[in-house]
Amino acid sequence: MATAPQHVTLASMNRDVAAWVEEVAKLTQPQKVYWCDGSDSEFAALKRELVADKQLLPLNPQSFPGCVLSRSHPSDVARVEHLTFVCTKNKEDAGPNNHWLAPKQAHAQMDALFAGCMQGRTLYVVPYCMGPIDSPFSRCGVEITDSAYVVLNMQLMTRMGHAALERITRDGTFVRGLHSTGDLNPERRFIMHFPEELSIKSFGSGYGGNALLGKKCLALRIASVVAKREGWMAEHMLILGLTSPAGKKHYLAAAFPSACGKTNLAMMLPTLPGWKVTCLGDDIAWIRVGKDGRLYAMNPETGFFGVAPGTSQKSNPNAVATFARNSIFTNVVLTPDEDVWWEEMGVAAPAKGVDWEGKEWTPDSGRKGAHPNSRFTAPASQCPVIDSDWQNPEGVPLSAILFGGRRPNTIPLVNEAFDWEHGVFMGSSCGSETTAAALGQAGVLRRDPFAMLPFCGYNMADYFAHWLSFAQRTERNKLPRVYFVNWFRKDAGGKWLWPGYGENSRVLKWICERVEGSAKSQRTPIGNLPTPDALDTSGLNMSNGDAEALTAVDPAGWKKEAEDIAAYYAKFNGKLPAALKNQLAELQRRLG
């Protein structure tokens, strides 16, 4: 760990941060205070300490050099949406999409939990920057945490330490994020956001989405509020570069709900010869109008916090290469060779191992070895297809925006919006089957507009209006085209209709060709769909029936879909923008 004189230097760099740290230390009473400088040596030292303390297990240095395994408390494995609050003076500002508490009450409740909670522990001060340090679009925060696991993850996921503190001092502002794992009692677990004060308080969980405050809390919930005020967007989106065999490159951003394949798409290996995907980010995009009037996207993170189960050499070879070293695995199986394993990893299960709860496990023990929401945290710089512009301080210009979800029926493989307003309607009506990324029942359909339902820090009706406003913020022909994709269609027997993964490059190809004006489409009541010959299915051996089902309109299914959207819209009472009501009415009219 860094030596005392350096702590003094960091602590004296910014009076506001130091005063806040002092105030928090008075409340939480830690045994010691440690200011993180973000250096590699600090990262290595902290990792060594946690290994010595058996809080982390080192993995096999030959097969997983520099990697460690962490096991969480069995109750602390996912985001807790029912315990996540947006605390604004007016309840209406948080909207029907957020749990709400008045700020005064929320602070009192949280401060009672934080009182004395760091006794005998170290208080880590983590200054961090979301986005490149030199980008005018980046925003900074300071996380105070008593979890060294959180510090290590923040090292991988953000630009943290000395350089961030310098930027905070230049900016004169930062988001205050106070975190403690407390006693991990789910009854005493809350994630509270105070967008009007630019602050976050998170207690009782060490899980990524609840505890790495730069990610969902700052870069989405707080940033979405700031973005609305300042005229930009903070979105739950991957960003990728797509290069055609002719060498033409387009950037795409795509919003899918948690655990619906954003990481897989973001670094996909196209099966179509000559096509290339490069990755800029897999979870969050900050988007703004650039000088030329186009929308520019930037990934504020520096790492991937991906779902492990299902990630394999076949489904995502670039992720496998990315987490092969210097990564943290959480809640997966430990094999006798000190390697990691999880379900659908594409390698044979070990004859015996230790499961995510630390219990002896065999493949026939009748239970999963890895938790379904087990994760890897890996540096983005290690991704073999990282885009050369992933740290460009200006971001990259978007040609298309994609929305998607897990929809076994009705929703076609790909559907192009008629115009921006129709695209916003598509985003607002996103629905998906729930997954293990949040506690609760998996596999039920819920509306998740823009894949932002758990992350929008203000009234979603105002958020829809904000999206619509971009048609006035720039010229329409500069806006990206909008698409809805669905890799998850099933036939009546429950069999997947579409192979997905690298084959999704066929859909990206159609989108790219549409943007360039060369691919054919047919206008239908629900949007522009590919003509049967426009989608490249060569070599897939798909039956004509399956190919047709993927790109056909199901009028009865869509009538039901429209009714369901209307019921969802009703939650926003009088606040829903008229343009979206019109879009729904128009869809119903077109469906007859």
Residue from 7, 47, 71, 79 in contact with ligand OXD (CB under 6 A): 79
The C-alpha atoms of residue 504 and residue 163 are separated, in whole angstroms, by 39
Does residue 329 bind ligand OXD (CB under 6 A)?
A: no
Residue 404 in contact with residue 256, Cβ under 8 Å?
yes
Say which entry of ligand OXD, Mn ion, none residue 437 contacts (CB below 5 to 8 A, set by partner kind).
Answer: ligand OXD
Q: Which is closer to ligand OXD, CB of 398 or CB of 437? A: 437
Which residue in the list 87, 260, 279, 456 is annotated as catalytic? 260
Name the nearest CA neighbour of 437 among 585, 261, 288.
261
Residue from 37, 146, 235, 283 in contact with ligand OXD (CB under 6 A): 283
User: How many Cβ atoms sit within 10 Å of the Cβ of residue 493?
Assistant: 5
Least spacing, CB of residue 454 vs ligand OXD, in Å: 7
Burial class for 543, CB neighbours closer than 10 Å (0-12, 13-18, 19+): exposed
Q: Which residue is nearest to Mn ion (CB)?
A: 283
Does residue 264 bind ligand OXD (CB under 6 A)?
A: no
Least spacing, CB of residue 548 vs ligand OXD, in Å: 33
Residues contacting ligand OXD: total by CB under 6 A: 7
Q: Which is closer to ligand OXD, CB of 281 or CB of 527? A: 281
Does residue 209 bind ligand OXD (CB under 6 A)?
A: yes
Burial class for 533, CB neighbours closer than 10 Å (0-12, 13-18, 19+): exposed
The C-alpha atoms of residue 181 and residue 124 are separated, in whole angstroms, by 13
Say which entry of Mn ion, ligand OXD, none residue 561 contacts (CB below 5 to 8 A, set by partner kind).
Answer: none
Q: Which residues bind Mn ion (CB under 5 A)?
A: 258, 283
- Which of helix, strand or coil describes residue 33? strand
Does residue 235 bind ligand OXD (CB under 6 A)?
A: no
The C-alpha atoms of residue 193 and residue 91 are separated, in whole angstroms, by 13
Does residue 42 bind ligand OXD (CB under 6 A)?
A: no
CA 498 to chain centre: 24
Least spacing, CB of residue 8 vs ligand OXD, in Å: 36
β-bridge partners, 124: 34, 145
Q: Which two tokens stand for residue 316?
A: 């995502």
Burial 379-413 (b: 16+ CB within 10 A, else e): bbebbebbbebbbeeebbbbbbbbbbbbbbbbbbb
Least spacing, CB of residue 236 vs Mn ion, in Å: 6
Does residue 437 bind ligand OXD (CB under 6 A)?
A: yes
Does residue 258 bind ligand OXD (CB under 6 A)?
A: yes
Map residues 110-149 to x or -, x wherever contact with ligand OXD holds by CB under 6 A. Answer: ----------------------------------------
Say which entry of ligand OXD, Mn ion, none residue 305 contacts (CB below 5 to 8 A, set by partner kind).
Answer: ligand OXD
Does residue 405 bind ligand OXD (CB under 6 A)?
A: no
Q: Is 67 a catalytic residue?
A: no
Does residue 371 bind ligand OXD (CB under 6 A)?
A: no
Least spacing, CB of residue 264 vs Mn ion, in Å: 13
Distances (CA, A) of 280 to 46, 275, 416: 28, 17, 23
User: How many Cβ atoms sit within 10 Å of the Cβ of residue 421?
Assistant: 19
Name the nearest CA neighbour of 149 among 75, 266, 216, 70.
70
Does residue 305 bind ligand OXD (CB under 6 A)?
A: yes
Q: Residue 406 belongs to what H/E stretch? A: none
Say which entry of Mn ion, ligand OXD, none residue 180 contacts (CB below 5 to 8 A, set by partner kind).
Answer: none
List residues with catalytic annotation. 260
Q: Residues in the site for ligand OXD, rule: CB under 6 A?
A: 79, 208-209, 258, 283, 305, 437
